[in-house]
Amino acid sequence: MRSTRKGSRDILSGSVLLIASLSLYLLIPGQVETLEGETLTPASMPMAIAAFIAVLSAILIFLGIRQRRLDLQEKPLIPEGGGIYLGATIVVMLVYVALISWAGYIAATALVLLALALLFGNRNWKHILLMMLIAPPLIMLFFRYTMLVLLPQGIFFS
């Protein structure tokens, strides 16, 4: 009964998160000084986050109860033959980590996208090439100009 255990874990983790978030929600106003008449206080954002976590926790508890009630057939965590894909993905990610500082973000990411697409059965070369050519530069531009984080340039762009 793997699904029952998952439902129990969801109920337990949701309950712990719900108690923690409600505690934070109740404790925050007493810990943050505010001026009288302020609409948005320094406590507003932390309280909103605590309330959001409480709502998500309640949803997790509900889904856990629902999961326990459903009598789904038992499925393995990793489907048969899936261990090969998992192992290959881990190897590809380790190569990516080693390659990114030498080849740079754009080249290493394009190669990893190619390897993962082929590993998981995508044989549409038009889509693979578009993904390899468009995604890495767009992500790099996002990090450079929006997040202000420089990604490794590598030997090709140094």
Residues 150 and 87 in one domain: yes
Residues 54 and 92 in one domain: no
| pTM for the structure as a whole | 0.52
132 CB neighbour count, 10 Å cutoff: 18
Q: What is the mean pLDDT of residues 3-29?
A: 84
Residues 87 and 151 in one domain: yes
Residues 151 and 86 in one domain: yes
Q: Where are the alpha helices (DSSP H) in the chain?
A: 2-31, 44-69, 82-103, 105-119, 125-141, 154-157
99 CB neighbour count, 10 Å cutoff: 18
Range of the domain at 8: 2-69
* pLDDT, tens digit, 9 for 90 and up, residues 31-76: 877 777 777 778 888 888 999 999 999 999 998 888 877 655 556 6
Q: Left (φ > 0), alpha (ψ -120 to 50) or beta: where does 58 sit?
A: alpha
Q: What is the mean pLDDT of residues 130-134?
A: 95
Count the domains in the chain. Answer: 2
Q: Looking at residue 1, what is its pLDDT? A: 44
Listed residues 69, 97, 121: the one ending a domain? 69
Residues 63 and 105 in one domain: no
Integer angstrom CA distances of residue 143 from 51, 85, 92: 30, 29, 23
d(C-alpha 26, C-alpha 6), whole Å: 30
Residue 75: inside a domain, yes or no? no
Residue 7: inside a domain, yes or no? yes
Listed residues 69, 95, 112: the one ending a domain? 69
Residues 56 and 88 in one domain: no
pLDDT confidence band for 11 (50 / 70 / 90): confident
Listed residues 21, 47, 69: the one ending a domain? 69
* pLDDT, tens digit, 9 for 90 and up, residues 65-118: 888 776 555 566 566 777 788 899 999 999 999 999 899 999 999 999 999 999
Residue 89: inside a domain, yes or no? yes
